[in-house]
Amino acid sequence: MKYSELNLEPRLNSAIEKLNYVEMTPIQEKAIPLILAGNDVAGLAQTGTGKTAAFLVPLIERILRTQTDPDHERAMKNWLPLSQVLILVPTRELADQIHDNVLKISAGTGIKSHPVYGGTGYDKQKEALKSGLQFIVSTPGRLIDLYKENHVDLKQVRVIIFDEADRMFDMGFKDDMKYILGRVPRDRQFLVFSATLNFDVLNTAYEFGAEPVEINISRDQAKADHVKDFLIHLGNDEKPQQLLSLLKKENPKQAMIFTNFKHNVDRIAKFLMDNQIPAMGISSLNSQPQRNAVIEKFKGDNDQNILVATDVAARGLDINGVDMVVNFEMPQDAESYVHRIGRTGRAGREGKAFSLVCEKDIDSLGRVEEYTKKKIEITYLEDVDIVKEFKRFPSEQRASYGDRFDRKPHSSGSGDRKRSPGGRPFENRDGKRPSRPDGFKKDFVKSGPKDGPKPHHKVGDKKIGPATHAKGEKIDSSVKKPISHQKMNSSKPHHQAKPIVPKQNQPRKEQPKAAKSFRSNSSKSSSTSTSSKGLGTTVKSIFKKIFG
């Protein structure tokens, strides 16, 4: 079926002609008439078959018809000036991709769109939302943040679309999706599209009142027709050499290399660069501006034609020039395999995908072959194609244990930092890291019962033992601090020498009464002794009278 048969609004028809949209793909042919009629749709199709246009073209058509002729059969009956189409996606890259497609397909119509996601500032997104948007393309987390701050009115959503919904469930967005669905009107149009569609996604749709018409144009096969995939059996240590040899043999115009581990991305990219193959990496370790810059370079006409990525880039990168994909490791889940190799063979072009399979990948390989219902063809490189001389694969750098005293703490307080018992990195209360005192092992003096009596601290005229503070509070004896008796008080000597005064010239000092009576006992010892004996005899006689 051709687009010209749809009788689209003139401005929209002009825009898609400039994009060379002539023949519809199978998913477009089945989905577009249903969406134009206002039906809920659940579309299952291989990646790279035009799912994005399958929902954007009919929705833009319906908005334009509503603006020009509210009584048109394709018009949205409850559309208001502030009404919106909400497209939810799992990744920032996919949000940018769909936003770009909205702008291209609606060029010259005045329809406005803006991507909304985390990793960037709020200000631009808030300003765009204030200006009035017909399309919001967003990740769930940032949308909920803006909704809670009253910058988004979910009651104005007339159409909600979940693109790559299964991936959103896999990434833990299920609760966010339910939160959003519970706050948009129940009479909105509901669309969900993906390369794989599981029962959990459809069950959620039914739970919130959707009745989607299911479209499945790839029930018998999971991967795209135009991708030839191969696997190479090898040892884990052989992967770098085989990857280098494979790239030099195939000499792709644009290639994507997928790894399961984000810390491997830069290592693989560096290995290729060290061996004169231009490459760049993208993963969740990159900031959003860095990721955007890498994708723009990769799309551009330059020598940076190899992209090393984690699965964060496996969805939503619609780059028609990619002619080769390499799985450095097999993905853990079979659906990711479909999305990875689907980055090539797009828009009817032929593509190749190679998987480097070692003993660690065998279980994943079995899951992929069971899911795709076919055995992946085995291939190998001839000895003549193997690169013999190359710079080695960079080893993983590990910080030494002793360096932790000298490194500055991360501002984010990341979990891989050594932390103090209070939960914060090694810091003083002023936020600075303590430095080790010079020779602190020498100055540390162990204290304990074996060391003899503790020195007393003099506070005024009162002597305070080591077990109490000046106010009489007890000290935790389990906390032992180094005490240097000689250096206890550097400003004043600890024991001040008293001036020697000749005995005859000393002023007479009045003694306390208790002390005077104590001293007087020595001179009156005989009388005291006599009185003590008399008292004892009296007491003895009293006891005899009482007890017999």
pLDDT digits (tens, 9 = 90+) for 46-62: 666 788 999 999 999 99
pLDDT at 430: 42
Helix locations, 194-351, DSSP H: 199-207, 239-250, 262-274, 288-299, 334-341
pLDDT tens, residue by residue, 204-251: 888 898 999 999 876 445 556 678 999 999 999 999 999 999 999 999
Q: Which residues of 21-48 are buried (b: 16+ CB within 10 A; e: fewer)?
A: beebbbbbbbbbebbbeeebbbbbbbbb
Q: Same topology for domains 3-216 and 227-385, yes or no?
A: yes
Instruction: Return the ∠ at Cα 435 (arms to 432 and 436), rounded to 5°.
Output: 155
CA distance 121 to 116: 10
Total-model pTM: 0.58
Residue 357 β-bridge partners: 233
Confidence (pLDDT) at 395:
80
Task: Burial-class residue 489 by CB neighbours within 10 Å (0-12, 13-18, 19+).
Answer: exposed
Write down the pLDDT at residue 346.
Answer: 74
Domain ranges of the chain: 3-216, 227-385
Residue among 131, 186, 128 nearest 155 (CA): 186
CATH code assigned to 227-385: 3.40.50.300
pLDDT of residue 71: 92
CB-count exposure of residue 498 (10 Å: 0-12, 13-18, 19+): exposed
Instruction: Look at residue 468 in the predicted model and tell me its pLDDT.
Output: 45
- Determine if residue 124 is left, alpha or beta; phi over 0 gives left, psi from -120 to 50 gives alpha, anything else beta: alpha
Per CATH, the homologous superfamily of domain 3-216 is P-loop containing nucleotide triphosphate hydrolases (3.40.50.300)
Which residue's structure tokens are 């990711």?
336
Look at residue 294 in the predicted model and tell me its pLDDT: 85
- Torsion angles phi and psi, residue 231, rounded to 5: -130, 150
Provide the sign of the torsion angle of the four alpha carbons 235, 240, 245, 247, taken in this order.
positive
Report pLDDT for 342: 83
Alpha-carbon gap, residue 86 to 136, rounded angstroms: 5
Distance between CA 85 and CA 72 in Å, rounded?
A: 19
Residues 6+ apart with CB under 8 A from 375: 369
- Enumerate long-range contacts of 65-72, CB under 8 Å, 24 or more apart: 65/9, 68/9
Please say whether the beta carbons of 343 and 319 come within 8 A: yes
Q: Hey, what are 49's tokens?
A: 């078959």
DSSP alpha helix (H) spans, 69-173:
92-105, 123-131, 140-148, 165-170
Q: Which long-range contacts (CB under 8 A, 24 or more apart) does 357-364 make?
A: 357/231, 357/232, 357/233, 357/234, 357/330, 358/233, 358/234, 358/235, 358/236, 358/238, 358/239, 359/235, 359/236, 360/236, 360/329, 361/329, 361/330, 364/329, 364/330, 364/331, 364/332
Per the listing, tokens 């004896």 go with 477
Which amino acid, one-letter code, is at 122? Y
**CB atoms < 10 A from the CB of 534, how many?**
10
Residue among 397, 345, 390 nearest 239 (CA): 390
Q: Which of 60, 45, 69 is nearest to 15 (CA)?
A: 60
The span from the CA of 32 to the CA of 6, in Å, is: 9
Instruction: Please list the pLDDT of the chain residue by residue as tens digits (548 residues).
Output: 899 999 999 999 999 999 999 999 889 999 999 999 999 999 887 666 788 999 999 999 999 999 999 999 999 988 999 999 999 998 888 899 999 999 999 999 999 999 999 988 999 999 999 999 999 999 999 999 999 999 999 999 999 999 988 778 877 888 999 999 999 999 999 999 877 666 788 888 888 989 999 998 764 455 566 789 999 999 999 999 999 999 999 999 899 999 999 889 999 999 999 999 999 998 877 777 888 788 888 877 766 689 999 886 556 566 777 889 999 999 988 878 888 888 888 766 789 999 999 999 999 999 999 888 889 999 999 999 999 999 999 886 543 333 333 333 333 333 333 333 333 343 343 444 444 444 444 444 444 444 444 444 444 444 444 444 444 444 444 444 444 444 444 444 444 445 555 545 455 555 544 444 434 444 444 444 444 455 666 666 666 667 66
Q: Rounded CA gap, 143 and 151, in Å?
A: 9
Cβ atoms of residues 378 and 347 within 8 Å: no
